[in-house]
A and B are shown apart, each in its own frame.
Chain A
Amino acid sequence: MPEKSQQYLHNFHNYLENRVNLLTHTFHPKIPIEKVRRSVPNDVKLRVLQNQRFNDYLDKISTDKDDRKKKVFAALQILSEMAFDRNMIVIRTLGSIIEKLMGQLYSAVHINQNSIKNLKESMGNQQIIYLPCHRSYVDFMLMSFICFINNIEIPSIAAGMDFYNMKVLGELMRKTGAFYMRRTFGDEFYWNIFKEYMHEIITYNDFGLEFFVEGTRSRTCKALWPKLGLLSMSLEPYFMGEVHDLKVVPVSISYEKVLEEQLFVYELLGIPKPKESTKGFFKAITSLKSKSYGNMFFDFGEPISLNSFYGSDVKKFNHSSEPAHIQKMSADEIQLTTDLAQHVLKQQQNKIVIMAYNLIALIYCERIHTNSIESLTFMELEREVLKLAAFFEELGAIVGFDDKDPAKNIRETMALHDNVLEVTGNSSNIQLKRANTDSNRTSNGNLKGHWLCKEVMDIVVPVFSLQLYCNPTIYWLSQPALFVLSTIGQNVVLIDDLKKDVLWLRQVFIYEFVLYPRFEDEEFDKVLKKLLDMKILIQSSESSVILNEKSPYINLLLSAISPFFSCFYNTSEIILSKFIGMKFVDKDIFIAVQSTLEQELLKGNGTIHPYSLCLESMNTSILSLCNSQCLFKEKQNCVNQYSIDEANMSALVNRLRCFNSRWNFNYKYFGNIILSKI
Chain B
Amino acid sequence: MSKFDTNLTKSLDQSTIKNVESVIPKKRQDLLKWSGWGYRDSKFYPKHEEVFFSGARYPIGGDVKLPHFGDWIRRNFNLKMDDLLSQPQKPLEYPEPKLDEIFYEAIQELNIDYSITGEDRLVRCHGQTLHDIYCLRNGKFERIPDLILWPKSHEEVVKIVKLATENNICIIPFGGGTSVSGSITCPQDEKRCITVIDTTQMNRLLWLDKQNLVACFESGIVGQDLERVLQEEGLTMGHEPDSIEFSTLGGWVATRASGMKKNVYGNIEDIVIRVKMVTSKGILERNISAPRVSCGPDFNQLILGSEGTLGIVTEVVVKVRPLPPVKKYGSLVFPDFESGIRCLREIAKKRCQPASIRLMDNEQFVFGQALKLDTGIFASFVDGLKNFLLTKVKGYDLTKVSVATLLFEGDKEEVDRQEKLIYEIADQYSGLKAGETNGQKGYVLTFVIAYIRDLGLDYGIVAESFETSVPWDKCESLCRNTKAVVRQECKKHGIDHYLISCRVTQTYDAGACVYFYFGFRWNTECQNPVDLYEEIELMARNEILASGGSISHHHGIGKIRARWYKQSVSSIGVSLYKAAKMELDPRNIFGLNNLLTPEDAIDFEKLQSKL
Provided the pairs A321-B8, A321-B274, A321-B287 are in contact, do residues A52 and B210 lie with their beta carbons within 8 angstroms?
A: yes
- Distance to closest chain B CB from A473 (angstroms): 41
B8 touches A326 (CB 8 A): no
Query: CB-CB < 8 A to A323: which residues of B?
Result: 207, 209, 211-212, 214, 289
Q: Knowing A52-B211, A321-B274, A322-B207 are in contact, say whether A327-B11 is a contact too (CB < 8 A).
A: yes
By beta carbon, the residue of chain A nearest B210 is A52
**In contact, B9 and A328 (Cβ under 8 angstroms):** no
Among the listed A52, A318, A322, A333, which residue makes an inter-chain contact with B289, where contact means beta carbons less than 8 Å apart?
Answer: A322
Q: Do the beta carbons of A328 and B12 come within 8 Å of each other? A: yes
Contacts of A60 in B (CB 8 A): 15
B14, B15, B288 — which one has the most chain A CB atoms within 10 A of its CB? B15
| Contact assessment for B12 and A317 in the assembled complex, using a CB-CB cutoff below 8 Å | no
Contact flags A38-65 to B (C-beta < 8 A → 1, else 0): 0000000000000010001000100000
Report if B462 contacts A (CB, 8 A): no
A321's partner among B211, B212, B289 (CB-CB below 8 A) is B289
Does B10 touch A at the CB level, under 8 Å?
Answer: yes
Contact (Cβ within 8 A) A326 B274: no
Cα(A323)–Cα(B12), bound, Å: 10
* C-alpha spacing A431/B550, complex, angstroms: 102
CB neighbours (8 Å) of B209 from chain A are 52, 323, 325-326
B49 sits at the interface (CB 8 A): no
CA–CA, A322 to B12, complex, Å? 9
Q: Is the CB of B211 within 8 A of A327?
A: no
Chain A residue, CB-CB nearest to B208: A56
Q: Which residues of B contact A607 (CB under 8 A)?
A: none
Is A275 part of the contact surface with B, judged by Cβ < 8 Å?
A: no
Inter-chain CA distance A330–B8, complex, in Å, is 11
B9 touches A318 (CB 8 A): yes
Contact across chains for A317 and B11 when beta carbons are under 8 A apart: no
Whether A330 pairs with B13 at a CB distance below 8 angstroms is no
Complex: how many Å from CA A150 to CA B216?
A: 50
Q: Is B16 an interface residue (CB 8 A)?
A: yes
User: In the complex the two chains form, is B11's CB within 8 Å of A330's CB?
Assistant: yes
Cβ-closest chain A residue relative to B16: A326
Q: Which of chain B's residues have a CB closer than 8 A to the CB of A52?
A: 209-211
Q: List B residues 1-45 near A (Cβ within 8 Å).
A: 8-16
Q: Is A315 an interface residue (CB 8 A)?
A: yes
Q: Is the CB of A327 within 8 A of B12?
A: yes
Cα distance A331–B288 in the bound complex, in angstroms = 22
Whether A56 lies near B16 (C-beta < 8 A) is yes
Report Cα–Cα, A321/B210, bound state, in Å. Answer: 16
A328 to B10, CA, bound (A): 9
A329 at the interface (CB under 8 A from B): yes
| CB proximity to B under 8 Å, residues A274-331 | 315, 317-318, 320-323, 325-331
Binary contact readout B201-217 vs A (1 if CB under 8 angstroms, 0 otherwise): 00000111111101010
Asked if residues A326 and B288 are in contact (CB atoms below 8 Å), the reply is no
- Complex Cα distance, B287 from A330, in Å, reads 17
Task: Evaluate contact between A322 and B10: CB separation under 8 angstroms.
Answer: yes
Distance in Å from the Cβ of A337 to the closest Cβ of chain B?
A: 13
Q: Which residue of chain B has its CB nearest to the CB of A56?
A: B16
What is the 8 Å Cβ interface bit string for chain B, positions 275-294, against chain A (1 contact, 0 not)? 00000000000011100000
Taking a contact as CB atoms under 8 Å apart, the answer to whether B207 and A318 are in contact is: no
Q: Which of A52, A322, A325, A328 has the largest number of chain B CB atoms within 10 A? A: A322
Contact present for B9 and A330 (CB under 8 Å): yes
Q: List B contacts of A320 (CB < 8 A).
A: 287-289
B207 touches A326 (CB 8 A): yes
Roughly how many angstroms separate A327 CA and B12 CA in the complex, as a whole number? 4
B210 neighbours in A (Cβ, 8 Å):
52, 56
Q: How many whole Å from B594's CB to the nearest CB in chain A?
A: 29
* Complex interface bits, A322-346 against B, C-beta within 8 A gives 1, otherwise 0: 1101111111010000000000000
Q: Which of A52, A56, A315, A331 has the largest number of chain B CB atoms within 10 A? A: A56
> In chain A, what residue has the closest Cβ to B18?
A60
Residues of B within 8 Å of A328, CB to CB, are 11-14
Residues of B close to A326: CB separation below 8 A: 12-13, 16, 206-207, 209
Give bound CA distance, A322 to B214, whole Å: 10
> Could you say which residues of chain B place their CB within 8 Å of the CB of A331?
11
In whole Å, how far is A146's beta carbon from the nearest beta carbon of chain B? Answer: 39
Report the separation of the CA atoms of residues A326 and B15 in the bound assembly, to the nearest whole angstrom: 9
Contact present for A317 and B13 (CB under 8 Å)? no
> When the two chains form their complex, are residues B12 and A321 in contact, meaning their CB atoms are under 8 A apart?
no
Assembled-state Cα–Cα distance A318/B212 (Å): 19
Within the complex, the shortest CB–CB distance from A320 to chain B, in Å, comes to 8
Q: Known contacts A52-B210, A52-B211, A326-B209; is A321 also within 8 Å of B288 by CB? A: yes
How far does the alpha carbon of A322 sit from the alpha carbon of B216 in the complex, in Å? 9
Cross-chain contact B211 with A317 (CB below 8 angstroms) = no
- Given known pairs A52-B210, A52-B211, A321-B287, the reply for A327 and B8 (CB within 8 Å) is no
Measured CB to CB, the closest approach of chain B to A191, in angstroms, equals 12
CA distance A321 to B9 in the complex (A): 11
CA distance A323 to B8 in the complex (A): 15
Instruction: Name the distance in Å between B120's Cβ and chain A's nearest Cβ.
Output: 35
A237–chain B nearest beta-carbon distance, Å: 14
Q: Does A317 contact B207, Cβ atoms closer than 8 Å? A: no
| B residues in contact with A315, CB < 8 Å | 8
> Smallest CB-CB separation from A192: which chain B residue?
B15
CB proximity of A238 to chain B, nearest CB, Å: 15
Interface residues of A in 191-235 (CB under 8 A from B): none
Contacts of A330 in B (CB 8 A): 9, 11
With CB as the reference atom, state the residue of chain B lying closest to A315: B8
Residues from chain A with Cβ under 8 Å of B211 in the complex:
52, 323
User: Please, which residues of chain A bring their CB within 8 A of the CB of B214?
Assistant: 323
Chain A residues near B13 (CB, 8 Å)?
Answer: 326-328
Partner of B10, one of A56, A325, A327: A327
Contact A329 B11 (CB under 8 A): yes
Interface residues in A321-379 (C-beta closer than 8 Å to B): 321-323, 325-331, 333
* A240-286, CB < 8 A from B: none
Bound: A168/B222 CA distance, A: 60
Residues of A within 8 A of B15 (CB): 60
**B323 vs chain A, min Cβ distance (A):** 16
Cα–Cα, bound, A317→B10 (Å): 11
Q: How far is the CA of A315 from the CA of B10 in the complex (A)?
A: 11
| B9 / chain A contacts, CB cutoff of 8 Å | 318, 330
The smallest beta-carbon distance between A190 and chain B, in angstroms, is 16
* Residue ID in chain B nearest A329 by CB atoms: B11
A542 to B11: give the CA distance in the assembly, Å: 47
Query: Which of B13, B210, B289 has the largest count of A CB atoms less than 10 A from its CB?
Result: B13
Q: CA A317 – CA B288 in complex, angstroms?
A: 9
Complex Cα gap A317–B287 (Å): 9
Chain B residue with the shortest CB-CB distance to A239: B11
Report how far A56 CA is from B211 CA in the complex, Å.
11
- Assess A318 versus B10: contact at CB under 8 Å? Given A323-B209, A323-B211, A326-B207: yes
Say how far A475's CB is from chain B's closest CB, in angstroms: 34
B483 CB to nearest A CB, Å: 49
| Complexed CA–CA distance, A260 and B208 (Å) | 51
Report the Cα distance A329→B274, complex, angstroms.
Answer: 22
Smallest Cβ-Cβ distance to B216: which chain A residue = A322
Identity of the chain A residue whose Cβ is nearest the Cβ of B274 in the assembled complex: A321
Docked complex Cα distance between A317 and B9 (Å): 11
Q: How far is the CB of A46 from chain B (nearest CB, A)?
A: 17
- A522 CA / B361 CA spacing, docked (Å): 81
Q: Using an 8 Å CB-CB cutoff, how does the interface string of A372-408 with B read, 1 for contact, 0 for none?
A: 0000000000000000000000000000000000000
The 10 closest A-B CB pairs, nearest first, are: A326-B207, A330-B11, A323-B209, A328-B13, A326-B16, A321-B287, A328-B11, A321-B289, A318-B8, A52-B211
Having A323-B207, A323-B209, one finds 6 other A-B pairs with CB under 8 Å, namely A52-B211, A321-B8, A323-B289, A327-B10, A328-B12, A333-B11
Name 22 interchain pairs, CB-CB below 8 A, sorted by A.
A52-B210, A52-B211, A56-B16, A320-B288, A321-B8, A322-B10, A322-B216, A323-B209, A323-B211, A323-B212, A323-B289, A325-B209, A326-B13, A326-B207, A326-B209, A327-B10, A327-B13, A328-B11, A328-B12, A329-B11, A330-B9, A330-B11
Binding site for B on A (CB under 8 A): 52, 56, 60, 315, 317-318, 320-323, 325-331, 333
